Amino acid sequence: MFPPTRIRSCLPVINPLFKQRLRPHRPFRQTSTIYNAQTKNVATQLQKTKWMNFRAIFTRWMPLGSVMYVGWCYIRASINYEVSKVEIRFYEMFPFRITSRLWGRLAACELPVSLRGLVYGAYSMMFNVNIEDAAVTDLTYYKSLSAFFTRPLKDGARYISPAPCVSPCDGVVLNCGPADTDKIEQVKGVTYSLEEFLGENKWSKKKGSNYYQSLLQNKENILHQCIIYLAPGDYHRFHTPCDWTATFRRHFCGKLLSVNPWLAQLIPGLFTMNERAVYVGEWKHGFFSMTAVGATNVGSIEIYNDPELRTNTKGKRTRINEHELGQIELKKGELFGQFNMGSTIILLFEAPKDFKFDMAAGERVLVGQSLTAAVKQQAR
C-alpha cells in the first residue's frame, strides 16, 4: 500500500480532469520550515534596504524627522521654551526649498472632475475655507489645488473702507503698532532688525544720521507696522492697502521657514531669514513699504505689476535682486499679488505719532477693513 501523501501527489497525474478541483500538494513540513525561514530573511533584508539606502534619507528619514522636530517645537512653544542657535541652524538645514517646489508641482497637477469635490471639500473642512465668498462656488470648476488656493472673490464679498489705509489681505494680525526703533517686534517679546529686513536704503535721497532716520521724510513722524498672517484656508490674494506710488523692489532669496505664529515666537528675526519681496515707495505721509514674505510650501510669490519677479527658483541664485520700478501708481483696494498658499504680509509706513490702529494682535481682519480707529469713528 502506498502512503496517503504519495497517493495525493499522484492524483493529478492519474486523472488530469480533477487537477483544477483538487488542492495543490503541500510540501513536507521540513521543506516548509526552511522555505518560511528563507522568506523571512529575504523580507527582513528588503525592509532594512528600504530604510538604509541613500534614497530613504529623503523619502523616509527627513520627512519623519521634520514631523518629529516640528511637533517638538510646538510642545516647547506651549511651555515658553527658548530655542538655541544650534537648533535654529539644524531647522534651517532641512531642504524646504526643494519640498516647496515639489509641493508646487503637485498642487498644479490637474485633478479628475470626479475627485475635485472630495479633495477640495476635505480641504475646506480641515482649514475652514469659506467657499461662499469665492467667485465660483462649484468645486468642480477648479482644475487643481493651486487654482483653488488662488480663487478670486465674488463682487461685493469685501467692503473697501474709506479709510486712508486698509487691510491688504484676509488673515490674523500677529502684531501692529508703532515701530520707533531699529528693532521691531515680530511677535510679543521677539524682534527683528529693520535694516536686515528692508536692506540698504538706496531709494531715499536724504540720508539721516542712522538707518531709521534715513527712512523718514518728516522727522516729526515715526514708523508704524502691521503684520498679517494668511492661514492655508484664507483668501490667498492680497490687495493694495492705500493710494501710494511704488518706486523700488528688492527680492531676498532667503529661507522658506514656516511663518506659523507659534513658530514665529521661537525664532527671532524669522522674517529677515525668509525669502521676501520688498516694495518701497511713498504715500501721503511719506515712506511706505509692503512686503510679501514666503514660507514653507509658499515659495511662489506673484506680483501682477512686476512680471519679472521670480521666487524659489532652481540652480544658482543671487542673494539679493534689485529692480527700479519707476513710478507705479497703485490705488487702494486693487489687486497687488498672490501666494500659492498661506504666508505673511508686512506693512511698514511713515505716519504721525498719533496714528492708532483699530485692531490688536490675535484679531482677524478682512481685505478692505480700516486700520485706523479715528477714521472709523469719522465714517460713522
d(C-alpha 364, C-alpha 230), whole Å: 10
Q: Has residue 70 got a pLDDT over 50?
A: yes
Query: What does the pLDDT look like over 265-281, one tens digit per residue?
Result: 777 778 888 888 999 99
CA 330 to chain centre: 26
Cell matching residue 324: 527700479
300 is catalytic: no
Q: Which of 236, 239, 251, 285 is labelled catalytic?
A: 239
More confident residue, 135 or 65: 135
- Cβ–Cβ under 8 Å, residues 284 and 243: yes
d(C-alpha 299, C-alpha 340), whole Å: 8
Q: Has residue 369 got a pLDDT over 90?
A: yes
239 is catalytic: yes
Query: What does the pLDDT look like over 159-176, one tens digit per residue?
Result: 999 988 999 999 999 888
Residue ranges per structural domain of the chain: 4-48, 57-149, 171-379
Query: What does the pLDDT look like over 22-48, one tens digit per residue?
Result: 555 555 444 445 555 555 565 555 555
Element spanning 62, H or E: helix 62-78
Q: Which of 146, 161, 300, 343 is labelled catalytic?
A: 343
Q: What is the pTM of this model?
A: 0.74
Measure Cα distances from 89 to 3, 13, 58, 129, 161 in Å.
73, 72, 19, 34, 43
Element spanning 327, H or E: strand 320-330
| DSSP, residue by residue, 179-212 | E-SSEEEEETTEEEEHHHHH-S--S-SS--SSHH
Q: Which of 161, 170, 236, 306 is labelled catalytic?
A: 170
258 is catalytic: no
Read off the pLDDT of each residue in 73-82 and give the average, rounded to a whole number.
60
In sequence order, the β-bridge partners of residue 134 are: 153
- Cβ–Cβ under 8 Å, residues 267 and 261: no
- Cβ–Cβ under 8 Å, residues 110 and 143: yes
pLDDT-wise least confident of 14-23, 83-92, 325-334: 14-23
244-252 β-sheet, strand order = 320-330, 244-252, 276-283, 286-293, 344-351, 222-229, 171-179, 364-365
pLDDT-wise least confident of 178-182, 357-361, 374-378: 374-378
More confident residue, 303 or 5: 303
Query: What does the pLDDT look like over 305-328, one tens digit per residue?
Result: 888 888 777 666 668 888 898 899
Read off the pLDDT of each residue in 133-154 and give the average, rounded to a whole number.
90
